[in-house]
Chains A and B, each alone.
Chain A
Amino acid sequence: MQQKDVLPMKPEPAEKRAAATAAPLNITGSEAVIRSLIAEGVETIFGYPGGAIMPIYDALYDFQKEVHHILVRHEQGATHAAQGYARTSGKTGVVFATSGPGATNLVTGLADAYMDSTPMVCITGQVAAHLLGTDAFQETDVIGITMPITKWNIQVTRPEDIPGAIAKAFYIAGSGRPGPVLVDITRNAQVAKFDFEYKKCDYIRSYRPVPKLDPEAVAAAAELINNARRPYIFCGHGVLLSGAEKELIQLAEKAGIPVASTLLGLSAVPVDHPQYVGYLGMHGNYAPNIMTNECDVLIAVGMRFDDRITGDVSQYVKQAKVIHIEIDAAEINKIIKADVAVHADAKTALEALLKLVKPAKHDEWLQGFREADKQEEEKVSKKELYPAEGGLKMAEVVRLISERTEGKAVLVTDVGQHQMIASRYYRFKDPNTNITSGGMGTMGFALPAAMGAKVGTPEKEVVAVIGDGCFQMTLQELGTIYQSEIGVKIVILNNNFLGMVRQWQQLFFDKRYSSTEMTNPDFVQIAKGFFIPGKKVTDRADITAAVDEMMSHKGAYLLEVVVEKEDNVFPMVPSGQPIANIRLE
């Protein structure tokens, strides 16, 4: 069955959307939910109906032109899809789920979005208020469960509180350091009527999402940079979240500073930019890691010094003055003591910094990175990207995808070896084209996130690179891809192993491969069952044509590539060790 590319939703004309919020209207709480979402500019919802949210779904039935609902196959899939959507479109992702198991299925996605600062609003149905606390059918304490993994959550038991709660939810989710928010609405509040009026929220007395820039801190940072001999920029997710890619590149160019990226910062700076030196962290590039302890001024922008970046903190960046530009005050001095803390939005801070930073060149310093690159190329990259013999390598598949899409496609990766390989070798061109689960490392993330990413940017190609283990965690979403005609390209890098765990078992557990080998199904047959065409490739001779075929195909396509069974990802900083101990083999 032939599939079409998913079409972008055509939002209704502005006047019609405005009419949806015309006040006052005596309507049910459920209709108020939908009208509130429309007032917030929501066009897409990922969800799954059930008893406690049925009135909301009933109201949705009358707004099918205004709001596009995508029926997923599991609520976890809805959350990851909303994440993919949010990260490509820049809007807040929206999820519907019912009470009890529907709500508990959101937990992983909420935790993932919380760790990776993704704006998301989850609306859950709840049993009627008079049943709360009685262990009623499908009742669960979703507020208690999600408290530590949401930026904010609230339970609404009266219809008149719905518009205010949703307005606050969107304001909180999307402002400051973004994050997921959950609104739990009891069934009685969904069915009772009230006079609806919607006002967007832009102020909460106890919440200060936008810090006021401290000019003294910026001046102190500029002075450090102007006097630095070996300055070094770390580009984190915050750069993308605040849309500061341009300012970051301008700063790097003006002051001649090398830029390295965190996993979630990837795609903020084009890989081929002359100031870009690579990807940081446990399996990042050799040069950016090893040079961290060589710089004299470190400018960390919108990143939080995750342990996967720092390794042993006691031997990390001790020689340098650290400038930390960060919107979330709680992140400053959490792991690394900042000599200059700039508590601000990345874009605001970089704009101010640009004015004070003097033009400079640090060619010799930059050249040091290029020298270190050669070692990595010799010992690792060449063999990975252009192997002459043996089984197919993950890296060569990623290279072919990167070449075929010119690095312009949105790359969605799952978690494990394939994620690290794809992040290392895909040559990102445009911002927000790297969608992955960083902080949480959620297996099963990529397939649903790719659906959301495609819906968020229908004009772009979206390629999901997934491991065989990860794919089997959320493969039910193939059903969503088929039903909603979402044209994602799915590449399974199949090594019949939980590769990353196997690698650790090999290196640190005497090759005792405990429960990591997988006997896999025929993935192409599974895709066929969902009416998604596909192909399986085992030989090097067939891979280029297969990638071409996949990229030329209109609509969703699954390519299974059988890769080297026991391959390892290098370089590697062994867990908990200093970054100086980075291994190339």
Chain B
Amino acid sequence: MQKEYTVTVYTEDRIGITNRICVIFTRRGINITSLTTAETEIPGVYKFIITVISEKEKLVKIVGQIERLIEIHRAFVHEEDEVVYQELALYKISTKALQNGNIELLIRENNARILTITEDYFVLEKTGHQQELIDLQAKLAPYGLIEYSKSGRVAIIKWSRRFHDHLKELEQQRPDNLKQATYSEHTEVSAEEESI
């Protein structure tokens, strides 16, 4: 069944790695709906958080193909309830709108905050799940929304141990160590597999 999944990929810092990962999705005709990447707590190791609408079975295979790449440490596919995630949106609105008392209420009710105000416009920021951000966009539209920009997903995996523990283990096990592939389900976690 098609639905939204979060794919997380731990990589080495290397030019072109985004390309290498994206090509694997492209080849199977899967559209990436959002992609966020940043350095993790371990220097030199990056985490990609990718959201896609696809089928679990397909994604499990894709994750296997991603893990095959040389600079990839691990890759996982997660159901929505396996990650804690947020997205961020910025809204640029005409300053004139502030003369309308309703907008202040709207900002409070939606836990948004004002980042900056100029003579012509002000910028709102809100974090939340995608639908909340889209809903706020719709509510702000009548007040003269000039521009809207949303980030990709930032996610924490509920069942993960700290990744650098895993890296330390790898270093200790050198050279005969193992990327313990979980064949059937990357998301079914046994105690042994808890270390990313």
Stretch at the interface among B123-131, B145-153, B171-179: B171-179
User: Is B65 located at the chain interface by the 8 A CB criterion?
Assistant: yes
User: Is A338 located at the chain interface by the 8 A CB criterion?
Assistant: yes
- Between B11, B72, B183, the greatest number of chain A beta carbons within 10 A of the residue's beta carbon is seen for B183
Give the chain A neighbours of B72 by CB distance below 8 A: 206
Q: Determine the residue in chain A with the shortest Cβ distance to B173.
A: A212
Give the chain A neighbours of B177 by CB distance below 8 A: 208, 212
Interchain nearest-CB distance for B20 vs A (Å): 6
Give the chain A neighbours of B178 by CB distance below 8 A: 208, 211-212
User: Is B184 located at the chain interface by the 8 A CB criterion?
Assistant: yes
- Which residues from 143 to 190 on chain A have a C-beta closer than 8 Å to any C-beta of chain B? 143-144, 147-148, 151-152, 155, 172
Is there contact, CB below 8 Å, between A206 and B64? no
Is there contact, CB below 8 Å, between B19 and A330? no
- Which residues from 317 to 367 on chain A have a C-beta closer than 8 Å to any C-beta of chain B? 328-330, 332-334, 338, 341, 343
Give the chain B neighbours of A204 by CB distance below 8 A: 70
Is there contact, CB below 8 Å, between A329 and B64? yes
Cα distance A210–B15 when bound, in Å? Answer: 26
Interchain nearest-CB distance for A148 vs B (Å): 5
Is there contact, CB below 8 Å, between B73 and A206? yes
Q: How many residues of B contact A (CB 8 A)?
A: 30
Is there contact, CB below 8 Å, between A329 and B183? yes
Q: Determine the residue in chain B with the shortest Cβ distance to A212.
A: B178
Q: Determine the residue in chain A with the shortest Cβ distance to B177.
A: A208
Given contacts A202-B175, A329-B64, A333-B61, contact A151 B183 (CB under 8 A): no
Q: Determine the residue in chain A with the shortest Cβ distance to B60.
A: A333
Is there contact, CB below 8 Å, between A211 and B179? yes
Is there contact, CB below 8 Å, between A329 and B68? yes
Given contacts A206-B12, A206-B73, contact A333 B174 (CB under 8 A): no
User: Is B82 located at the chain interface by the 8 A CB criterion?
Assistant: no
Give the chain A neighbours of B65 by CB distance below 8 A: 330
Is there contact, CB below 8 Å, between A203 and B174? yes
What class of interface size applies to chain A in its complex with B? 20 to 34
Is there contact, CB below 8 Å, between B64 and A334? yes
Contact of A144 among B19, B67, B68, B71 (CB under 8 A): B19
Is there contact, CB below 8 Å, between B23 and A147? yes
Q: Determine the residue in chain B with the shortest Cβ distance to A334.
A: B61
User: Is B170 located at the chain interface by the 8 A CB criterion?
Assistant: yes
Contact of B175 among A203, A329, A341 (CB under 8 A): A203
**Proximity string of chain B (9-36) to chain A, C-beta cutoff 8 Å, 1 when within and 0 when not:** 0011001100110010001000000000
Is there contact, CB below 8 Å, between B181 and A207? no
Interchain nearest-CB distance for B72 vs A (Å): 6
Cα distance A148–B15 when bound, in Å? Answer: 15
Is there contact, CB below 8 Å, between B171 and A205? yes
User: Is B107 located at the chain interface by the 8 A CB criterion?
Assistant: no
Cα distance A529–B68 when bound, in Å? Answer: 47
- Between B19, B71, B179, the greatest number of chain A beta carbons within 10 A of the residue's beta carbon is seen for B179
Cα distance A358–B184 when bound, in Å? Answer: 29
Interchain nearest-CB distance for A72 vs B (Å): 28
Contact of B170 among A205, A210, A328, A329 (CB under 8 A): A205
Cα distance A341–B180 when bound, in Å? Answer: 12
Cα distance A152–B65 when bound, in Å? Answer: 13
Contact of A206 among B11, B16, B175, B184 (CB under 8 A): B11
Interchain nearest-CB distance for A209 vs B (Å): 9
- Which residues from 63 to 81 on chain B have a C-beta closer than 8 Å to any C-beta of chain A? 64-65, 67-68, 70-73
Give the chain A neighbours of B179 by CB distance below 8 A: 208, 211, 329
Is there contact, CB below 8 Å, between A329 and B181? yes
Cα distance A202–B73 when bound, in Å? Answer: 17
Cα distance A152–B70 when bound, in Å? Answer: 7
Interchain nearest-CB distance for A169 vs B (Å): 11
Q: Determine the residue in chain B with the shortest Cβ distance to A331.
A: B64
- Which residues from 201 to 248 on chain A have a C-beta closer than 8 Å to any C-beta of chain B? 202-208, 210-212
Give the chain A neighbours of B71 by CB distance below 8 A: 206-207
Given contacts A205-B12, A205-B167, contact A332 B68 (CB under 8 A): no
Contact of B184 among A143, A151, A333, A334 (CB under 8 A): A333
Interchain nearest-CB distance for B10 vs A (Å): 8
Cα distance A212–B184 when bound, in Å? Answer: 18
Q: Give 5 pairs: A residue, B residue, CB < 8 Å, sorted on A.
A: A155-B15, A202-B175, A329-B183, A330-B67, A332-B64
Cβ-closest 8 pairs across A and B: A329-B181, A330-B64, A212-B178, A208-B179, A152-B70, A330-B68, A206-B73, A207-B70
